[in-house]
Structure 1
Amino acid sequence: MSVRTLLHRGALVPIVQAALSLCGCAVGPDFESPAAPAVSGYTTGRLPVTQGADGPGGMAQRFAYGADVPAVWWQVFRSRQIEVFVREAIDNHPDLAAAQAALRQAREVAAADTSALLPSITGESSVTRNEVPLAQSGQTGPSSLYTLYKTSVPVSFTPDIFGGKARGIEADLASADYQRFQLEATYLTLTANVVTTAISDASYAAQIRVTQEQIEGQRQLVALLEQQFALGAVANSDVLTQKAQLAQTIATLPPLQKSRAQNRNQLMAYLGRLPSQDRGEAVPLANLRLPRDLPVSVPSLLVRQRPDIRAAESQVHQASANVGVATANMLPSVTLSASGGSSASALAGLYGPQSAAWSVAASVTGPIFDAGSLFHTKESKVAALEQSGAKYRSTVITAFQNVADALRAIQSDADLLKAQLEAEKASAESLKMSQAQFKAGSTTFISVINAEQTLLTARINRVKAQASRYADTVALYQSLGGGWWNRVDETPAATAKPAGIAAIFTPAGALPAQPTPPAN
C-alpha cells in the first residue's frame, strides 16, 4: 500500500502527529489575519433611497445595510437570457479551467511536501556474481567464485526541531489558498463581465434602433419637403438643409454598429465561443428589471468577502511562513538513520539469523561559515513579507473605493436617468413646437433641424442612462465579492488526490486550518 493511500485513509495520522510533536517551537512569525479597517461605512454620510423615474431602469432603489449577497446575484435582473449566458461562460471559458488546474496543482504540491515530516524508507535487493583471485589475499591457488545475495531497508528521518518543514508546508497551504481565491476572483470577474457586456449589447441595440427611427423620420421629412418645394411652398435651401441633417444622422449609425459588433465579439469570448459562432442571442433593454433592495455588506465583513483581498492575505501568510523557513535554515539539523538487512551466499540462507546486518547512525549538521548568505536570504524574506503586507493594504483600499464608487454611481445615475427622461420629453415637445411654428411661417427651418438633433441626442443619452443603472448594480455586486461564500465554485478538477491532506495536521495544531467563508 502506497504512502499516498495511507494518507488518504488516515492510517498515518498517529505517525504524522508524532513527527509534528518533535518539531518543537517553529521559528519565525506566527501569522494572524489582518484586522478589518476601523470604519463604519464606505462613504461620508448615509446614502438615501435613489430617485425613481418612468420607463426601464427607472425603479427607485434602497440600500439594505448588513444584508447578504446572493450566490447567483445575476438573477436579480430577472432575465432568462442573462442566466443562460452566465451558465455557458462558467461551463466553457478556459480561464476558469486554468484556475481550477492551478488550484489542484497547488494542493498537490502541499500534499507532496507533507512527506518531509515522515521518515524516508526505501527497499534494496541485489544479487552479484563475483570472482576474486586468492593472490589478492596473499594466497595461491585458483580464483574464488561465489554469488552474494543482499537485502537492506534504509530508514532516514530528520526531525523538524525548529519547525522549518512545518513552515514550508504552511507556505504551501497558503499558496493553495491564494489559488483558491484566484479561482473565486476569476469566477466573479467572468460572471460580472458577461452580465455587463450583455447590458452593453442591449444598450447599443437600443441606440441603433433610436437612430434608425430618427433616420426614417428624417427621410420622410425630406420627401415631404421635396413635394412642398415642387409646389413652391418651401425654399430649396430648406430641402438641402434637411438632406444634410439626414446625412449627419446616417453617419452616426456605422460607429454604433461597429461598437455593437465588437461588444458582441467580446461577449462571445466570455462565453467561450469564437466570433463566427455568434447565434444572435440578445437581451432587450426593456426586458431587464432592477432590484428594489441592494445589499451593502458591513465594512468589517468586506475583507472576508472580497476574493482579491483574501488572495492578498494568503500571499502575506505565505511570505510570513517563508520567513520561518529561512530562519530554520540558519539553525542546525539532526538526521537519524538506520538500516536493516541481510547478506548470504545462497538465496536460501538470506533470511537466516546468521546473515542479518544492521546499522544505526545519527548526525548533526549546521552552518559554520557562509559569508552571510543565510542571513541575507532570511532578510530578503522579511522584505518580501513587508512588501506583501503593503500590497494587502493597497488591495483593501482599492476594494473600499470600488464599493464607494458603485454606491455613488447608483445614486448619481438614478438622478441622471430622471433628468434625461425629462430632457427627452422637453426635446420632443420643442420639436413639435418648432415644426408648428415653421408651418405657420413664424420661424426658420434651422430651428426645426436643431430641435431634431436635440431630440436624437436626448433619446441616445436616455438609453445610455438606463443601461448605466443596470451596470451600476452589477458593479455593486461585484465590488461586494459576488456571494461566492454562498455557493461552491470548485469542481473535481481543483481537488487534490487524495483531498484534504491539510486536515491531517489540524489535531497537532502545527498548521492553520483552511479559511472559512464569512458568516452570513
Structure 2
Amino acid sequence: MKRTFATALIPLLGSCLLAGGCTTVGPDFTPPPEPSAEAGYADDGGERVVLNEGPEGQWWKAFGSPQLDTFVSRALAGNHSLAASRATLVKARERIAAVAGRRLPQVDAQARGEYQRVNLAAFGFDGFSGQSISNPEFDLYTVGGGVSYDLDLFGKNRRALEQAAAQAEAQERATSAAHLVIAGRVVSQVLAIAALNDRIATERKLLSEDERNVSLTQARRNAGAGTLVEVLSAQGQLAGDGASLPSLEQQLAEGRAMLAVLLGISPGQLGPTDFGLDDFILPASVPVALPSALVHKRPDILEAEARLHAAVAGVGVATAELYPDITLGASITQSTSEPDRIADTKFNAFDVFAGLTAPIFHGGTLKANKRGAEAEARAAAAEYRQVVTEAFGQVSSLLSALESDTRELAARHEAAGIADRSLHLSRRSFQVGNSGILQVLDASRSYQRARLSLLETRIRQYQNVARLYVATAGGWDPKDMDDAPE
C-alpha cells in the first residue's frame, strides 16, 4: 500500500512542478487609463515652451554651465539620502529573489547526535515471566534530508511574487524621484547663490551711488550752496543701505552650507562659488511633456502606479488564503548508535507524504484580511489619481508663472531704465541748484528698488524654468547604480 502511494505521489509531484500550480485567484492588475484627449494644461507657457515628450535626463545642462553640471554630478554621487535610497532599492530587489525562492522545492539537511533512554513500558513491554525489563540507554546519531513543495494551487506564492516585484518597482521609481528632486534642489541652490552674489554686487554698486550723493552734498556745502541737513540725509541713506550687506553675506554663507549638504560634503570642501546669473544661459525653449507622456515619465506618478499594482496583488494573496493548500514532500534519514556505520544502508528510513491544509474557522480573520486588502487597493487607486492631478496642476502653475515672468521681466527692465535716467537728471538738477537733495535721494531709492526688483524677477524666472524641468523630466536611470559609490 505504501509503495503504491509513493509510486503515485512522485509523478504527481513532477507534474505539479512542471505545471506550476493550477489557478491564480484574485484580480489581475490593469494599468490606469491614459489621460483623455481633452486633458491638458491650463496654460501653454507662451513662446518659450515646446510641448513634446519632455526634457532629456540631464536637463540641467540646458543652463550651459559646466560648474553647475559638476555640482549636480557630485550631488548624485555623494548625497547620503540618495545612497540610502539606492540601498533600499537593492533590498527590495533581493526580496523578489527571496519570495521567488518559495515557489521552488525546499530542500533541507539535518544532523543530530543525542544520548537517550527508551521507555519500553510506554510501548507495552512490561517484562516476561515476572522479570522486569530495564530501559536501555544509548547514543544515537542521525543524518538526513528532505524536500517539500507547495503546490500553490490558488496562486498565493505567485501573487506574493507579483506583489514583491511591484513593490521593488515602486522603490525604483521612488529612488528615481529622489535623484530628480536632489538634482532640482542643487540647481535651485546654485541659482540662489548666483542671485545672492548678484544681489551683493548690486548693493555695493548702490552704496557707490550713495557715496556719490554724499560727495555731491558735501561739495555743495563747501561751495556755500548746501546745508548740513542735506549732507546728513545723504549720509543716513548710505548708512542704512550699508546695513543690508551683512545679512546678504550671511544668507550667502547659509546657501553655501546648504549646497554642501546636498553634495554630502562639508562647506570647506565646496570650493569657490563666485558666479552670477550671467554665467548661466536661460534656455530659449523648454521642452515640456504632454499629459499623455507625463504619466509615463514622472517618477512619482510611476511610483504611485507601481504601489497600486502591489496593492492589487495583495488582494490576490489575501484571497488565496481562503482556499486549501497542498504540500508534497519526502525525507530520508540514517540513524545508528555507531557513528562509523552511519552510511550503512540497513540503517536507512524514508518518508513520502502529501499534506492538505484547509481553513475552516479563523474567527473571520481571513475574510477581514481580504476586505482590508481590497480597501488598500482602492486607497492606492485614489492616491494614484491624486498624484496625477497634482502633477498636472503643478505643471499648469509653472507654465503660467513662466509666461508671467516674461512679461514682468520686460516691465522691470523698462522701469530700471527710467529710474536710471531719473537719477541722472536729479543729480544734474541738484548740481546746478534747481532741486534739493530730497529729490536726489528719492530718485536714488527708486533706482535701488528698480534694480533689486529686476534682479528678483530674473532669479524667479531662472528658478521657475528649473522647476518646470523637474516637473516634467524623467528620473534617474537605475542602471547608474553600477557606477554609484558604496
User: TM-score if structure 1 supplies the norm length?
Assistant: 0.83
Q: Distance in 2 between matches of 1:17 and 1:247?
A: 91
Q: Distance in 2 between matches of 1:129 and 1:236?
A: 111
1:81 is the counterpart of 2:67: yes
Aligned-pair CA distance for 1:212: 0.8
Aligned amino acid, residue 70 of structure 2: V
For 2:23, the equivalent position in structure 1 comes to 25
Structural RMSD (CA): 2.7
User: TM-score if structure 2 supplies the norm length?
Assistant: 0.89
Please, which of 473, 476, 480 is the counterpart of residue 489 of structure 1? 480
Q: Distance in 2 between matches of 1:121 and 1:167?
A: 22
- Unmatched segments (≥5 aa) in structure 2: 1-12
1:114 is the counterpart of 2:112: no
Aligned-pair CA distance for 1:443: 2.6
1:274 is the counterpart of 2:266: yes
| Identity across the alignment (%) | 31
1:138 is the counterpart of 2:127: yes
For 1:7, the equivalent position in structure 2 comes to none
Q: Secondary structure, in 3 states, of the residue corresponding to 2:295?
A: helix
Change (3 A) 1:113 1:375: same
Equivalent pair of 2:217/2:437 in contact (CA under 8 Å): no
For 2:303, the equivalent position in structure 1 comes to 311
Change (3 A) 1:199 1:47: closer
Please, which of 274, 279, 287 is the counterpart of residue 287 of structure 1? 279
Q: Distance in 2 between matches of 1:321 and 1:40?
A: 31
1:142-197 superposed Cα distances (whole Å, 9 cap, x missing partner) = 87565544333222222111111111111111111111011101100111111111
Please, which of 52, 58, 65 is the counterpart of residue 51 of structure 2? 65
Q: Secondary structure, in 3 states, of the residue corresponding to 2:350?
A: strand
- Unmatched segments (≥5 aa) in structure 1: 1-14, 50-60, 496-520
For 1:156, the equivalent position in structure 2 comes to 148
Equivalent pair of 2:43/2:399 in contact (CA under 8 Å): no
For 2:470, the equivalent position in structure 1 comes to 478
Aligned amino acid, residue 90 of structure 1: L
Change (3 A) 1:372 1:493: farther
Change (3 A) 1:214 1:34: same
For 1:338, the equivalent position in structure 2 comes to 330
- Range with greater deviation from structure 2 (452-461 or 270-279): 270-279
For 1:183, the equivalent position in structure 2 comes to 175
1:62-116 superposed Cα distances (whole Å, 9 cap, x missing partner) = x332244222111111111101111111121101100110001111122112222
For 1:34, the equivalent position in structure 2 comes to 32
1:218 is the counterpart of 2:210: yes
Q: Secondary structure, in 3 states, of the residue corresponding to 2:31?
A: coil
Change (3 A) 1:16 1:80: farther
For 2:184, the equivalent position in structure 1 comes to 192
Equivalent pair of 2:22/2:154 in contact (CA under 8 Å): yes
- Range with greater deviation from structure 2 (113-122 or 80-89): 113-122
Equivalent pair of 1:403/1:476 in contact (CA under 8 Å): yes
Aligned-pair CA distance for 1:245: 1.6
Change (3 A) 1:405 1:145: closer
Aligned-pair CA distance for 1:390: 0.9
Q: Rg: which structure is higher?
A: 2
For 1:445, the equivalent position in structure 2 comes to 437
Change (3 A) 1:16 1:43: farther
1:90 is the counterpart of 2:88: no
Q: Secondary structure, in 3 states, of the residue corresponding to 1:97?
A: helix
The aligned length equals 468
Note the 1:366-515 alignment, pairs <5 A.
Answer: 366-482=358-474, 484=476, 488-491=479-482
1:168 is the counterpart of 2:166: no
Aligned-pair CA distance for 1:276: 4.3
